Structure 1
Amino acid sequence: MRHRVKKVQLSRKKNQREALLRGLFNSLVLYGRIETTHPKAKALQSYVERVVTRVKKEPLMYNKVREAKRHLYDKQAVWKLVREIAPKYESRNGGYTRVVRTRIRRGDGAQMAIIEWVE
């Protein structure tokens, strides 16, 4: 039993949850900021921290690309992560993104949030 290991389920099964996070991560890399629900943004923030740190720590470029391909759908997003985003945070130990609560969604009352890269 792994104590103190938190898993956000987002009312989905494992494969659906992973696909959702990959899609959100892909959009975040391509567009720089996205608006989603607050629980999804917090789950994505944790996912992004792990992936960017892993890509950053790989010594060889092809290993960086291989690690990024595991978590992104789009080739353009892979290269943007490896060439622009990861080098930008080389000196930073975590805290690559920020989540800002924005509004309540009118249709269902869900708390919305914007997740974006920290400059």
Structure 2
Amino acid sequence: MRHNRQTHRLGRTCSERKALLESLVTSLLRHQEITTTLPKAKAAKRLADHVITLGKNDTLHSRRQVFSFIQDHQLTSKVFKEVAPRFKKRKGGYTRILQLNKRKGDGAQLAILELTEKEIIIKEPKKTEKKETRPEKPAASHETREEHPKAAEKEPHFPKHDEPKKDKPRPSFFKNLGKFFRNKGGS
């Protein structure tokens, strides 16, 4: 019985589990959503919510706590400058889990773990600038060019390939079947 068990063990040792969850939370904060298995998403959701809660309280101590977990200076500053201010009015529920289909190989239940308030990135379509048409230079006439007579005489000589002979069309498969199934008499 698993009475009063607080952690999702995920079939890993303590250090492996810690590294996995740190990696999942780091990826979630960097990309705003990740696809993983459902038990991993449930375990990472708790830690991601805790990191964002620390990010809302912008003190030196909370910055050091977030950095000890994430271990990336740029991402730590992103949590405090971009991610946490989006959730100032919210008291919890910073992430959501959306269930997907089962994975084809092993049948594991997949899920998307995402931030509830994402940063909206609007991509502008590339503008195609019309190139200015330049007036073309008049082409040099053929009369002014001198051709070398030696170059004209030395054309490469390639052997001519004969076309492959076409075979007679083969009789169809069904026409030949008549020979096998014909009545040989005597029945």
TM-score tier (shorter): 0.7 to 0.9
Residue deviations 1:35-73 (CA, integer Å, cap 9, x gap) = 000000000001111222123234x2x334212201113
Larger radius of gyration: 2
> Residues of 1 paired with 2:50 and 2:13: CA distance?
21
SS in structure 2 opposite 1:50? helix
Following superposition of structure 1 onto structure 2, how do residues 35-50 of structure 1 map, counting pairs within 5 Å?
35-50=35-50
How far off its partner does 1:4 sit? 4.5
Instruction: Find the counterpart in structure 1 of residue 11 from structure 2.
Output: 11
Residue deviations 1:69-109 (CA, integer Å, cap 9, x gap) = 01113222111111111111122111000000011111100
| Aligned residue identity for 1:113 | A
Count of residue pairs brought into register by the alignment: 115
**TM-score when scaled to structure 2?**
0.57
Q: Is the 8 A contact 1:23 1:73 kept in 2?
A: no
Q: Is the 8 A contact 1:68 1:82 kept in 2?
A: no
Q: Does 1:73 align with 2:71?
A: yes
> Residues of 2 paired with 1:88 and 1:63: CA distance?
21
Q: Does 1:109 align with 2:107?
A: yes
Following superposition of structure 1 onto structure 2, how do residues 52-71 of structure 1 map, counting pairs within 5 Å?
52-58=52-58, 60=59, 62-71=60-69
Give structure 1 regions of 4+ aligned residues with deviation exceeding 3 angstroms: none
Identity of aligned pairs, percent? 38
SS in structure 1 opposite 2:8? coil
Instruction: Find the counterpart in structure 1 of residue 127 from structure 2.
Output: none
Q: Is the 8 A contact 1:49 1:95 kept in 2?
A: yes
Q: Does 1:86 align with 2:77?
A: no
Higher-helix-fraction structure: 1
RMSD: 1.6
SS in structure 2 opposite 1:71? helix
Higher-strand-fraction structure: 1
